[in-house]
Structure 1
Amino acid sequence: MTMDNAYEQKVKDFTFDVPETYNFAKQVDQYAAAHPEQVAIHWENEAGDVQELSYGELKAASNRWANALSASGLTHGDRVIVLLPRSLEAYIVYLGLIKAGTVIMPGSEMLRPKDIEYRANHAEAKGVIAFGAITAEVDQVREQCPTLSTFIIVGSEQAGWTSYESLVAGQADEFEPVFTRSDEMAFLSYTSGTTGGPKGVIHTHSWLYAHQQIAATYWFDVKQGEMAWATAGPGWAKWIWSPFVSILGKGGTAFVYAGRFNPQAYLNLLAKHEISVLCATPTEYRLMAKVDGMDAYRPRALRSACSAGEPLNREVIDAFQKNFGITVRDGYGQTENSLLVGNLVGLDVRPGSMGRPSPGVNVAIIDEDGQVVPTGTVGDIAVAKDAPILFKGYLNDEVRTKRAFRGDWYVTGDQGRMDEEGYIWFEGRADDIIISAGYTIGPFEVEDALVQHPDVAECAAVASPDPDRGHIVKAFVVLKRPELASDEMVRDLQEHVKNLTAPYKYPRAIEFVESLPKTTSGKIRRVELRAAERENAR
């Protein structure tokens, strides 16, 4: 059987039956009961410090945390913002919250006060669980967030916060996960929009079940007992995808590296540890592929590698195949769904292609009327609205929820074409969203920060091609006093944005202009600016 025929058989044989009730943490507990000594999480930092947690220890620790939640005032259905770095505690906290039936609101450790305030008030969050380095950001806005009543700090002590360690001390090691329906909200993840504030993406408990059946099985591909390294950090939908659900849900061992990204360090870690599966961003792969003497590194156990976040270029795929005999398999999905399209296990990889639709997921290229376009025609990448991995709408936002659908289809906002063999090829964003090094950035958030600078009259942020990050944020800025344009002003504006919003959103390039292209009604035509950037990059 050829690889493509194997894919066809998987699609043909795929069945999906969501149970009426489901709790992911209970599933992990059942595995832990059968394999208590297996390492669930291996953590280490740049200094070489190591911490490990077995499945038995993970079960007991998350049970103590779930028992402690009632004492902290957080109960079934409450919405809780979680602001934790790569750590053992992130896994414990997430599992315990799921056991207790609370709704997890993942947040990056890079969020700023304004970001936290927006999320807390928009979702009417009741609690915040954070580590010491970000509690000051929360404290700046807690008086503006009337629904927040519970503040828990992990790893240290601070006035105005309850210590996580003190809460779990003395709690029982046993806890029966609460009864959660499959259609109950489990996660509320925020993603950038082209206008307005971030959108609250609703995922139910059934989404965790669906993700395991589809993405974790046919794309991520970790086997029971294997060590897998997915580089995404807590606070991002991709962390839920791979480091959390795909590894623990399949009985794997999660490798967690808490150090800063360095391509040589990453290659050394692959050579040092028995990491069988790697999932990293295209930017990380690109920089590893550029390391001089890459062929001298010898991954100890690597057998499978995948990538998501933005298109992966052929040179990277060729470098890993040549040096390690590993084909990096690209995948495509969003915060609103899971893996829609991928170069799945058992599928011939077409370098540069997203791959083919996931089993059980009806993906098509459609036109403005919601009709499927002919093969080879560029159109909107869309997924049938009954797909099991699709979100259940944007919280408190009927307008943007309705706008995301076209007839029987959810429209991703990306454009592509499908070839005669069913492979989908990415053509570009249909809107103004910027994807840089795997981060999804709304231009409005960047522009809103920039115009708060006293010297900025108006501005526009767009994606600008970049060889390492895929794209970077570039801002076109009109100054109130053009004579202030300088390298010093560029640095000042960049620091200004970093101080107002998450640092990854800051414009890495700034161009001062006299005016911005606009429509007759006065709307900025970002499309012209993007087109000029693409042309300049050629």
Structure 2
Amino acid sequence: MLSVFDQGPPAPCPTPFNMAGYVLGAAGATPEKLALAVVGATGAERWTYAALEAAVRGTATGLLQAGLRPGDRVLMRLGNRVEFPIAYLAAITAGLVPVPSSAALTAREVANMLPELAPSVILHAPDVACPETDLPVIGADALAAMRALPPAGYDMGDPNRPAYIVYTSGTSGKPRGVVHAHRAIWARRMMHDGWYGIGPEDRLLHAGAFNWTYTLGTGLMDPWSVGATALIPAEGTDLAALPGLMEAHGATIFAAAPGVYRKILNAGAARAIPSLRHGLSAGEKLPASIEDNWQNATGTPIYEAYGMSECSTFISGAPRRPATRGTLGRPQPGRRIAILGTDGPVPLGTEGTIAVHRRDPGLMLGYLGAEDETRDRMRGDWFLTGDQGVMDNSSSITYLARKDDMMNAGGYRVSPLEVEQALSDIPGITQIAVTDIAVRSDARLIMAFYTGPAPLSEAELARLASERLAGYKTPRGFFHVDALPQNPNGKLQRRALAQIYEALHDPS
């Protein structure tokens, strides 16, 4: 038998459709129910569904009054506060195309995005880096004032039209805008039972910041889509305080990247929480040691999901169908997933590339301004993830490795070429190469290896890197070497960098 999972397609997305209208549907049925609580040591900022919808639709009115029109792109340079999801949903309500971006990006990185993105406006909070530009800018205070305006109607239309754009690190080294349709939120319904096990009575606490796409989807949009309550830690909350916040606010589900679970465990803060049923993990591979230690400390399992910016998550364990030990889980019902070789799906038990069928409603519309790269990711009817895996006869998929050199930094995909290009012109560096290194069984860090006349100050290299790259892209170590590993044709052998690191750290 071939490595193909297909139990039939999901229900089609309604038409006409608006993603924000779907997400905030509970405002009509349960207007006074708690939609969001921003929780911290000193209390909570609370938003009912009615208040949330009023703020979103009022802000949509303000954006339209500012001269924006459906289809215009809106770059979001906002901080880790509730203004972020309000502005995001407001733009979608009005038929605009928001572009959420990490607050960690430097002004230089944002400037590099602008020519291709061509936004009509930038929503900007003063504490977030943003380059000097002639583009119109709407500040955080002006956005907040818009909440009181009369509500805009939801811009209804084709569910296949662009709804939002997220940026991911491209294999060419240039960040790529991933264009998603309004139907992407409808596709996430497959995750409700296929990963979350979530219902209207749940209270999901997500450990990430408002302006991280993992938080936007799993922490906010999906709980609101089912009428549940989203709990988000207040800015500056210590990770060790999260178990206490979960207990104080009755969290039933906890979502985080593996690194957050590790930090809570290392702080000795993990404990049994009466309300908590399970945890969720995504962004990078969950080490078995973290999964086991969390289960032992809290008595609750963690369900892992695999996905990417181009298609969210589509393989996972779930309360109703836990993953087989050592696997990613199974494709969510409604998905069509295969393991591909050069000639199509491979036999069960055979290594190949994990692929998603083009009919998946959660699959991106394409990369912004990069039609060739979009085509290159397709093989016939299949979108190639670039990850290698094996499917067994229960449809469980075991993750093997990346087929390319892409790195994973705390849940973010990062191209080594992007980092190398940003650092290559530093005086004293003749060549530079980066890769992510397993520094422990449960942690990988980006490391840089460079050649030059003499070793450079590591502190100065770190300072220069921080001016050019977001924190999560910045190498955590810089190593001067006599030569970078190359094959006989002079091509960099990136995977050999790990051997150099190990040799440098060999105590013998």
Q: What TM bracket, shorter-length normalisation? A: over 0.9
Q: What is the Cα deviation at residue 18 of structure 1?
A: 1.8
Contact 2:36 2:229 (8 Å CA) reproduced: yes
Distance apart, 1:230 and its partner CA: 1.9
Change over 3 Å in CA distance of 1:167–1:56 after alignment to 2 = closer
1:351 aligns with 2:325: yes
Q: Is residue 165 from structure 1 mapped to residue 144 from structure 2 by the alignment?
A: yes
Alignment partner, residue 16 of structure 1: 11
Does residue 39 of structure 1 match 2:13?
A: no
- The 8 Å contact of residues 8 and 335 in structure 2, kept in 1 or not, is answered as no
1:101-120 equivalent positions in 2, closer than 5 A? 101-120=95-114
C-alpha displacement at 1:328, in angstroms? 0.3
**3-state SS, counterpart of residue 448 of structure 1:** helix
Q: What's the CA shift for 1:304? A: 2.3
Paired with 1:109 and 1:266, the residues of 2 have a C-alpha distance of: 22
1:234-383 counterparts in 2 under 5 A?
A: 234-260=210-236, 262-292=238-268, 294=270, 297-367=271-341, 369-383=342-356
- Which residue of 2 is the match for residue 152 of structure 1? 138
Match of 1:454 in 2: 427
1:64 corresponds to which of 36, 58, 68 = 58
- Greater shift, 65-74 or 199-208, is seen at 65-74
State the 1:112 CA deviation: 1.0
* SS in structure 1 at match of 2:447: strand
Residue 179 of structure 1: how far off its partner (Å): 2.0
Residue of structure 1 equivalent to 2:475: 507
Aligned to 1:160: none
Q: Shift in Å at residue 228 of structure 1?
A: 0.7
1:30 corresponds to which letter in structure 2? G
Q: Distance in 2 between matches of 1:263 and 1:200?
A: 31
Q: Give, in angstroms, the shift of residue 357 of structure 1.
A: 0.8
User: 2:74: which partner in 1?
Assistant: 80
Q: Which amino acid aligns with 1:288?
A: I
Contact 1:273 1:301 in 2 (8 A): no
What is the Cα deviation at residue 417 of structure 1? 1.4
Indicate the residue corresponding to 1:158 in structure 2: none
Q: Is the 8 A contact 1:223 1:250 kept in 2?
A: yes
Which residues of 2 match residues 400-479 of structure 1 at below 5 A?
Answer: 400-467=373-440, 470-479=443-452
Gaps of 5+ in 1: 1-9, 156-162
2:477 counterpart of 1:495: no
Provide the alpha-carbon RMSD of the alignment. Answer: 2.3
Question: Residue 529 of structure 1: CA displacement?
Answer: 2.1
Give 1:125 shift: 0.8
Tell me if structure 1 keeps the 8 A contact 2:287–2:442: no
Q: Is the 8 A contact 1:192 1:198 kept in 2?
A: yes
Equivalent residue for 2:152? 175
- Measured at CA, do residues 424 and 228 of structure 1 come closer, stay the same or move farther in structure 2, by a change above 3 Å? same
Mind listing any 5+ residue stretches in structure 2 that lack a counterpart?
none
Aligned partners of 2:256, 2:269: CA distance in 1, in Å? 20
Equivalent position of 1:194 in the other structure: 171
Q: Is the 8 A contact 1:224 1:251 kept in 2?
A: yes
Tell me, in whole angstroms, the C-alpha distance in 2 between the residues paired with 1:166 and 1:467. Answer: 48
CA positional deviation for 1:82: 1.1
Q: CA deviation at 1:533?
A: 5.5
**How many positions carry a matched residue from both structures?**
502
Q: For residues 222-254 of structure 1, what are the alpha-carbon distances to aligned partners after superposition, in whole Å with 9 as ceiling and x for unaligned?
A: 211321112233443323321222111111111
Cα distance, 1:225–1:362 mapped onto 2, change above 3 Å: same
Question: CA separation of 1:493/1:48 partners in 2, compared to 1, >3 Å: closer, same or farther?
Answer: same
Q: Which amino acid in 2 is paired with 1:141?
A: E
Q: What is the distance in 1 between the residues matched to 2:264 and 2:272?
A: 13
Structure 1 distance, partners of 2:80, 2:370, is 31
Q: 1:69 to 1:121 in 2, by over 3 A?
A: same
